[in-house]
Structure formats: structure tokens, C-alpha cells
Amino acid sequence: PLLEVDITGSTGVLFNITGPSDFTLKELDSAARVVAEVVNTDAEIIFGAAIDNELSDEVKLTIIATGFGTGPSFTLNELDNQEIEPIKLADLQLEDTRDTPSDLPTFLRKNFPLR
């Protein structure tokens, strides 16, 4: 598991805070601000919170971050100049697998009668 990974500069963040029912909104806001200060200023942040009373004096923070900028990046113009080999699909022989009219839901049987 990736437990100690730097999320600095990430452009997409999903994080969830789980804590006991006495976990205050001020504490929740403090944790959210720490995450927001570290990531890219234009990052899309999706936040969630949950209550778990089995966590008496601890808090769980789950963070999923993307867009670190370490991989190759392409613009549409760069991709337009590349030759792309077409995908060849096999010829498919479709057959009617409906055995009885009851295979279709009632609302479909009314609107689309069987052959």
C-alpha cells in the first residue's frame, strides 16, 4: 500500500474523513484545508465524511490523488499528426436468443412485438 506518498501538485483529489460522532466541524475543516493547501490551486477536490463510533479517539483519512504530471502529456494537435492503425473487428453473426415472449419485460413486449 502507498501510505507515505506526496500529493503536492496533484490536480484531482478524492478524500474522505471518517471519525467518531464527537469529531467537530472545525477539526474536519482543518483537515480539509491541509489537503487543499498541498494540492494544485486548480485541483478538483471531492470531499466526503462519515461517522464511525467505533473510532473513539482516532480519525481515518483516505486520499486518492491523480494528475501529478509525472507521465507523458499530449495535446490534441500532437495526436492528430500520428498515424493510428484502425481496429479490425471480427464479423459477428448475431442470432436471436429469445426463446419465449416472457424473456422480455412487459413494457417492452407491448412496444416491441416479437416476430
Number of domains the chain is built from: 1
Q: Are 24 and 58 in contact (CB under 8 A)?
A: no
Q: Which domain holds residue 28?
A: 12-66
Q: Is residue 114 part of a domain?
A: no
Q: Is residue 37 part of a domain?
A: yes
Strands 44-51 and 60-66 turn out to be unpaired
Q: Is residue 6 part of a domain?
A: no
Q: Is residue 50 part of a domain?
A: yes
Q: Is residue 19 part of a domain?
A: yes
DSSP SS3 for 39: coil
State the pLDDT at residue 14: 94
Q: Is residue 48 part of a domain?
A: yes
Give me 111's grid cell.
412496444
pLDDT of 102 strictly over 80: no
State the pLDDT at residue 56: 84
CATH code assigned at 47:
3.30.1330.20
pLDDT digits (tens, 9 = 90+) for 37-81: 989 888 999 999 999 999 888 899 999 998 876 566 656 665 566
Split at pLDDT 50, 70, 90, the class of 8 is: confident
Distance CA 61, CA 49 (A): 9
Split at pLDDT 50, 70, 90, the class of 110 is: low
pLDDT of 10 strictly over 70: yes
